[in-house]
Structure formats: structure tokens, C-alpha cells
Structure 1
């Protein structure tokens, strides 16, 4: 994995105006703080010797320091907020641009942790970088001031500097790694929590609340360990510094005081030495600043791991005209080194209805995702009307290939938005037709506000939700329809009515199913076994294979097709 340095440089350039203003305020504050000891010292010496000294100069320095500090605080917050917004937009947009293969690299909770926590930490880059540079500049200015006022006092301070760099080097390296470890444990905790929230009904039904609570909270041990190691790292650095700093401070002040007694240093210069010594001690505070930079770097590395996942290709030629002929050649899909699909060679004629069957885990949904362009195969090609979809403009592809899923998610503010989410401003006639074909019009009509029902107040059964997902797909004039178990929660009579409406469409229809009746109605059936095609042909022909028959419960008679207006005798039985 590449480090996040490139991302950090992009972040610094994301808001040049605000960042420049923040840097100017920080530099002004540092400059005023360096002028203050010298100005105070000159004022004291002038008062003691009776020499005139312009009081307005001291007031101007104090005013500049106050204004620069206030501006710096405000711009610090602005820079952090601006950087967080920029990072979250960039990371979220990248996550949503990934195909299914890229999205499976991390669990949803991991993505969420990186999107929220890692972006907030990384956005501290500008304050951390400016704070580090100005603190270092102020510290160096303080050292130079000490050396100019009294060479011996400055030399005494410099004796302690090498120890600081030794401590700081180890702190930066270890704080970066500990930040990554901490956020990794936090992401694991978030992923487990999201899983538990999605399966809340199952947890309650199984009575496994205590066991699931323990599972979700298991990463807390690693989280605590990483956090404690980080704070121990800072503690160890802190006590070392707390031993070094007083010794250096006493030595410098003792030498300067001796200089006052011998006349080498004036009283005003002694006051200036005290001020510059405070600034010079900023070199010791670099340890804490470097720890913060380590946090920024560790968080940036975690974001870089997400941004390094290649997005789905953009651009390309429009999909050529055609009727929806779909072909797959040599398609292979892998996950963690194991094949999900291997050696898939299939051609689906335009306008045909193809059922995809097989036991759980054999790659049915993976095949549907590859055929519809949601998942890029690791090898092989997918062609629609002769065009390799890898070379087709995604917008053109999405306009002619629609999907409906087993667990659809509705987007938008109202039900109208949800159905037309891919086509804002979709005509009411098209929405009404889609609701009719998906058998959703009756329950939508019963809603008090109909299509204007807010999604936040919408309560649906599993079958109703699936029908809304189908309506979203049916609202588009598609060339290919991919239904991935999209009617599994719909009763068999309603499914048959949906199937009739679907068959009336000129599109090629790829239907992942567990129902024998759906396979019987299809023109062709793809039978998958262990990621390979075990059989391809009409349902009635595949029934000659005992392995295919074993996919469905045995009943006294099997129906190959269902005439229009008829209901399969297998519909409504327990296996359905």
C-alpha cells in the first residue's frame, strides 16, 4: 500500500485561500511572540536608564499578537472543517464509484470508520503542519535570541537539544503505527455493530443477546491496548522531557543571572532571556506536535488504502444499437484466491428469458452481477450486442441494463423519488406503468399520500419492498433486465402476474431464482454448480439429469411451461 503522502499534498492544495490565510495568521502570531521579549526588555532598560522608548511600539506588538492568535484559532477550525468535508466527499465518491469487487475489499463498518474517523484525523493536517513549523520557527527564534543576548546562556540551552531529536524520532514512527492499529480496531468494532443492527430480529428470536454483545465488543480489547500504548508512548516521552527541561532552564537562567551580576547582561536583557527561553522550550514541545503528525499520517494511510482500490472504469463508447443479445466468454471471478465463477461461456439470445439456478453459494448472484456490469470479471469478457461492456460508457450501460434485488434499498425523500431515482423528473405515466407491472399499484394507492409518502414513514413487508424495487427497474426502457432473487418474498400468484408483465417487455431477462416454476417458465436455464456451468438449456431437457432434479423437491408431475393465464400446479406448495 502506498503511503498517504500524495493524499496529504492534495489536501493542502484543496483550499489554498483559507490555508494561506491560516498560515499568514500563524506566522504573524509567531513573529509577534518573538518581538515581544525584545520589546519588553528594551522598555525595562529604557525605564531604568531614563532613555526614551516609544510605548506605542509595545502596544502595537501586543495588539498584533492578540489579533493573530484570535485569527489563528478561527482559521484553525475553518481549515479542519474544510479539510474534513473535502476528504469525506472524495472518499465517499470513490467508494460509490467502485464495482462490487472493490466494495467487497472492506466490510461496510470498515468503510464507515475510515469515512468518519480517519477523515477527521487526516483533516488536522494543516493545523498540525502549520503548528509544527511555526512552533519550530518560534523555538529556533528563541534560541537565536538567547545566543544574541548572551552566548553562554544560548550554549547551555543547546546542550539539551540532541536528546529532544532522539525522543522525537522514535515518537513519530511509533505514533503512526499505533494510530493505524487503533483505527483498525475501531473499524472492526463498527463492522460488527452494523452486522448486529442488521440482524437484530434474528438475535432476539434466537435469544443470543449476551453472546452477540460479547462478539460485537470483542475488538474493545485491541482498541484499549492500542490506546494505552499510544498514551504510554506520550507518557514516556513526557517524563523524559520533564527531567531534561528543568535542568536546562535552571542552567540558562543561572548563567544569565550571573551575567547581570558581572554586567555582561542588562536587567532588560535578563527579562528578554526569560521570554526567549520560553520560546526556545518550544523545541521540547515538538515531541507532542510530531505525535499529532503521526496520527495524521496513520489516518491518511488508512484512507489511501481505500482510494487505491481501482474504481469502475469511466468513459468509453456508447452502447451500440441492438435488441439485447448477451454473451459471456471465458469469465472468471475470484475472491481471496478462490474462484467464484470459472470458465463461463454462455450466450443469451435477445428477448429471451433465462433462469439461473443452483444451490446456495455456487455463484448465481455473482453471475448476475457480472452479466449486468456491476462486477468486473478477473478474466474473460461480457458483451452486449457485440460490444465489450468494459469499453462501454457506464452511463450508457446503466441506461439499458436494469437490476432488481432481493433486498432493495430505496433512495430519495419520497416514494416518487425512490422509483425514479435513476431518472429524476420521471413522468407520472411511466411511474404508474412501472407500479402496475410490478403489482405495486394497489398498496401504493392505499397510502395516505401515495407517491408523495416520505420514505422515513414508509412501512412495507418484504414482498412490498421487492415490488417497489421491481417498479424502479421497470420504470426504465431497458434492453436487459437482471432480477437477482427479486421476487423471493412475493407470493406465487403475484409473481406469476409480474412474470407476465416482464415477458411482455422486449428486454432480455436474466432471473436468479430458487423456484422451479420460474425455471419452468423460462426459455433457457443456466444450472450452476461450484462456479461452473453444469447445464444450459430448456428446463424440460435439464430434468433428465438427476443432479438438476435434485435442486427441486419431487412432486407427482413436473410442468415444463405455463401457458398464459394459467398457474403452475407447483405454485403455492411448501417448496415455493
Structure 2
């Protein structure tokens, strides 16, 4: 499936339902802000002329209330807009992560968690941040227009100050963008190490290396602080420059206004209005905060896009032939790794209903072969067929109904034990699978049996493997076991083997046990990513190097 780029504009478009409300509120708020100095000017001039300023004072009060109402609308719309975008981003990112089992190890788990949590929250600010930036420019631009209406010389003095502030903002945006993405990358790396440490907490405690591991997790803290300081320095520098440029514009406008008033070209009220509009120029410096939000949003979107850019596994629209028995074929399958081939021209056939044992030393490519057979990744060349149909041409439902996989360390997820053993399956199917793999005994001893919450299920490595086997039991044609019975005792393993044989499905079993290989109809012997030989266990046993595989 072709990857779709996640761009800043894409996130902004996602917020389009709320952005019009934000924009309208910003326009109304700006209009009231720009109208207020004129109302006050007329009130002053009316008072000086003795005509009474009550009407204009009420108008000014109404404009102030309108501005407050717009602020409340802004707060509501921005919060709901950001929450909706964050939920959408997190949902899309989780779906993409689960759709790329072949590439998910390109990222550290903790880093992915950081992108999904803090990263999505920052990226969700794209729409409101953009509207905020545009809204922040409206008062100074509107002020410039009103000063031009009053007198072009006032506008010229004001424009000079605005130009200085614009230069300051441009420098700030450039500095803070680089600091933001560097900060997020270091934060992700620290989260990755923390996740590793939490996963290995027992080993760390047993080894007495808590202090050393703490230092390892936090070793980039100085870099994180450095990037944070860079952001704050840029903000402080921009604020200081803007604090100088803004008042300079105000002083310039007031000086020109005073000169014009002395010549009778401006009234007292118009001088007041000119001062108010000049102060809006100083407000342009507040854009530093908005630009900081935009910089963090752009950096976060770029990091989310790194995950989004990995193509998900694509599926076809074919079903398996009804008469098939699970015949598995590898045809010149090659899988490339970052440091060279993981599998090279692997070719063999497992007859339907047969059991094939995959053996080899550590690093020979056994698990890679298993993931390709279960189509958790595609080969870089060659093809894998099930009952004559290439796996990529099967529909998602046809593939997952036909093929199941259990591993040595299954990742168990679900609300209850039953949910974990058979997500979305009828209770009877769950009970049947549990009985077949010997998971029914300990399940029946739990307080709520199969309805026991998963986090209340005490389990050994063997029990976790039984749950994983029960979950994969739905496979109709092919069951791939990657050392999935390694933690079972001999009696339990024999029970599972008998149940597998009775199921009639084809079995591809990665193992390091000679006993299991001896029970197989076919042994696939891997050596450094290549199929060294295939045949019966008793035939291959005559090779000393084959026997050595089981003594590693």
C-alpha cells in the first residue's frame, strides 16, 4: 500500500470544521479592536466640544464586550479543534504502526510512544496556530490602514517600526524551528531508553545497576536542556528586540501626531487614536509565542510523517481455493537486511497438512522465514504461495483466516483472558482452542475464569505461550510457530503437538529441539540465510554439522 504523506497542510485541513469559527472570531475581535480607538477618539472630541460623549462611550463599552466574547469563542474552538486533530493523528499513527509489522523495529518503542503522545499534541496545534498567526498580524496591519486613513505621515512612521519587528520575527522563526525538532528527537531517544529500562527492570535490579541505568536513560538530559535553552534564548532575544522596535514605532507615531496636532492637522481625539493604533504595532511582538507553537507543530508533523511514509502491507482481493489443504511454497525468496541478506533464494515446498520444522543456528534466518510465511513482511524478491495463490494477492480476511502465527514471547493484549485468546471470536471457539493447547486448566482456576481481567491473570512463560497458541488456533490452512512451545514442559509440548497433528492444518515450526524435528514430515535446514538442505530428520542426522545445530 502506497504511503500517503502527512504534511502540515494536511493537519490544517483536518481542522477545517473549527477553523472558520476561529477565523470569524478573529476577524470580529480584530474589527472591534480597530474600531475601539475611533470610538474613544470621537468620545474625546465630543467631550471637548461639549456635545456629550455618552453615545460614543456606550459604543466603546460594546466593542470591549465584543472582544471579550470573541476571546471566549477562541478558547472553546481552539480546544475542541486541537483535541479532534490530536485524536485523528494518534488514531492514524497507531493504525500505521500496526500495519507495518515488517518495519516497526526501525523505531524504538519509547520513541514511538513519545511521537504518539506529545508529538501528536504538538502537531494538532497546526490549524489553530496558523489561524493564531494570521490573527496576530491583523491588528498591526489594520492599525497601519487606519493610520493611513488619518494621515499618510503617521502610517510611514508606523510602517518603519513594523519592518523592524518583522525582521525580528523572521530571525526568531528560523532559530526556533531547528531547536524544536532537535528537542523532540532527543526527547524521543530518552523515551526509548526509558522504555527499555522499564522492560528490563528485573534484570537491572538483580544486577544492581540501577544507578548506571539511570545515568544511561538520562545521559542526553544536558542536550535536551541545551535545545530547550536555545528555544528560550531565541524567544528572549526576539522579545527584547520586539520590545525595542514596538515602542520605537509608538514613539515615532506619537511624535508625528504631535507635530501634526500642533499644525492643526489632527484633533485631540485623533491624536489619541493614533497612539492607540501605534501600540498595536508593539503587539506584533506577541507573534513570537505563536511562531513558537507553529515551529513545534511543523517539527512534530515531520516526525509523525517519518512513520507515515513507510508503506503498509497491501492486500489483494482473491480467496483461497476451497479444495486446498494448505500447501506452502517458497520460490527463490530473498529478504534483505540493513547489513546484507537475511534470506537468500530460499526454495522449498511443504505439502498440505504436513509439518515442517525449520532448524538452524542463531542468526541463520529462521524467524525471518517464519514472518515471511505468515506474511508479516514481504520478501524483496521471490514469492510465497499458499495453495497456489501468492500471499500478497489474498484479501486481508482470506489471509488472516487461513494463516496464524504464535511466537516464543507473544504480545498479549485484551480486556479479559477470553478477549486475548480469541479476539472477536465466539466463546465456544475460544474454549475449544484453550482446551487444544492446554490453556483450559489454569483458566478454570482463575476467579472469573475466562472473564478474568488480563492484568489479573498471573502467568508463567509457558502459560503466556499457551495463550498465544490459543489465539493463533483459528488458522484454517497454515499455522506458523516461531519457538512457540519453547517454555512448555515435555508433557504439555507433546499434547500441543498431538492437537496440531489432529487439526489437519499445515504447520511450519521454528525449533531448536531435535525431538520436534524428528516428528516433522520435513526439515528445512537454514545456514547463514540459505536453505542448506531439506529432508527427513533421520536422513539429515547423519551430517555432523546438522547434529551440531541442536547443541548450540
TM-score by length of 1: 0.91
User: Equivalent residue for 1:551?
Assistant: 549
CA distance in 2, matches of 1:327, 1:520: 21
Taking structure 1 as reference, are residues 97 and 370 closer, same or farther at Cα in structure 2, changes over 3 Å only?
same
CA distance in 1, matches of 2:442, 2:291: 61
CA contact (8 A) 1:102 1:311 kept: no
User: Equivalent residue for 1:493?
Assistant: 491
CA distance in 2, matches of 1:314, 1:5: 20
Per-residue deviation, 1:10: 2.4
CA distance in 2, matches of 1:123, 1:431: 41
Per-residue deviation, 1:142: 0.9
Mapped pair 1:237 → 2:238: yes
CA distance in 1, matches of 2:241, 2:21: 36
More deviation, 526-535/169-178:
169-178
User: Equivalent residue for 2:470?
Assistant: 471
Mapped pair 1:402 → 2:400: no
Per-residue deviation, 1:432: 2.1
User: Equivalent residue for 1:362?
Assistant: 364
CA contact (8 A) 1:330 1:344 kept: yes
What are the Cα deviations for residues 79-109 of structure 1, in whole angstroms up to 9, with x where unaligned?
A: 11111111111111111121x2221221111
User: Equivalent residue for 2:447?
Assistant: 448
CA distance in 2, matches of 1:272, 1:74: 31
Three-state SS of the structure 2 residue aligned to 1:104 is: helix
User: Equivalent residue for 2:274?
Assistant: 273
CA distance in 2, matches of 1:229, 1:365: 45
CA distance in 1, matches of 2:46, 2:512: 95
User: Equivalent residue for 2:156?
Assistant: 155
User: Equivalent residue for 2:329?
Assistant: 327
Three-state SS of the structure 1 residue aligned to 2:325 is: coil
User: Equivalent residue for 1:481?
Assistant: 479
Pairing 1:124-143 to 2, within 5 Å after superposition = 124-143=125-144
Taking structure 1 as reference, are residues 552 and 453 closer, same or farther at Cα in structure 2, changes over 3 Å only?
same
Unaligned runs of 5+ in 1: 554-574
CA contact (8 A) 1:102 1:310 kept: no
Three-state SS of the structure 2 residue aligned to 1:412 is: coil
Taking structure 1 as reference, are residues 315 and 177 closer, same or farther at Cα in structure 2, changes over 3 Å only?
farther
CA distance in 1, matches of 2:33, 2:105: 52
Taking structure 1 as reference, are residues 5 and 451 closer, same or farther at Cα in structure 2, changes over 3 Å only?
closer
CA distance in 1, matches of 2:458, 2:68: 57
User: Equivalent residue for 1:39?
Assistant: 39
Per-residue deviation, 1:367: 0.6
What are the Cα deviations for residues 219-246 of structure 1, in whole angstroms up to 9, with x where unaligned?
A: 2222122212222222222222233233
What are the Cα deviations for residues 532-573 of structure 1, in whole angstroms up to 9, with x where unaligned?
A: 1122111111112221111124xxxxxxxxxxxxxxxxxxxx
Per-residue deviation, 1:150: 3.3
**Residues paired across the two proteins, number:** 546
Mapped pair 1:221 → 2:230: no
CA distance in 1, matches of 2:399, 2:368: 18
CA distance in 2, matches of 1:6, 1:501: 47
Mapped pair 1:24 → 2:48: no
CA contact (8 A) 1:439 1:467 kept: yes
Unaligned runs of 5+ in 2: none
Per-residue deviation, 1:161: 3.1
Of 84, 87, 92, the match for 1:85: 87
Taking structure 1 as reference, are residues 151 and 7 closer, same or farther at Cα in structure 2, changes over 3 Å only?
same
Pairing 1:510-521 to 2, within 5 Å after superposition = 510-521=508-519
CA distance in 2, matches of 1:315, 1:219: 45
Three-state SS of the structure 1 residue aligned to 2:493 is: helix
User: Equivalent residue for 2:61?
Assistant: 59
CA contact (8 A) 2:402 2:475 kept: yes
What are the Cα deviations for residues 313-361 of structure 1, in whole angstroms up to 9, with x where unaligned?
A: 1442223331101111121112224211111112111111111111222
CA contact (8 A) 1:11 1:83 kept: yes
User: Equivalent residue for 2:536?
Assistant: 538
Three-state SS of the structure 2 residue aligned to 1:340 is: strand
Taking structure 1 as reference, are residues 457 and 530 closer, same or farther at Cα in structure 2, changes over 3 Å only?
same
Per-residue deviation, 1:170: 3.1
Per-residue deviation, 1:15: 4.1
Pairing 1:200-219 to 2, within 5 Å after superposition = 200-219=201-220
More deviation, 405-414/169-178:
169-178
User: Equivalent residue for 1:434?
Assistant: 433
Per-residue deviation, 1:57: 3.0
CA contact (8 A) 1:124 1:296 kept: yes
CA RMSD of aligned residues (A): 1.9
CA contact (8 A) 2:180 2:299 kept: yes
CA distance in 2, matches of 1:5, 1:33: 40
User: Equivalent residue for 1:562?
Assistant: none
User: Equivalent residue for 2:457?
Assistant: 458
CA contact (8 A) 2:316 2:392 kept: no
User: Equivalent residue for 1:341?
Assistant: 343
Per-residue deviation, 1:141: 0.4
Three-state SS of the structure 1 residue aligned to 2:17 is: helix
User: Equivalent residue for 1:567?
Assistant: none
Taking structure 1 as reference, are residues 367 and 477 closer, same or farther at Cα in structure 2, changes over 3 Å only?
closer
Three-state SS of the structure 2 residue aligned to 1:323 is: coil
Mapped pair 1:257 → 2:258: yes
CA contact (8 A) 1:135 1:283 kept: yes
CA distance in 2, matches of 1:388, 1:375: 13
What are the Cα deviations for residues 399-425 of structure 1, in whole angstroms up to 9, with x where unaligned?
A: 11011111112222111111111xx24
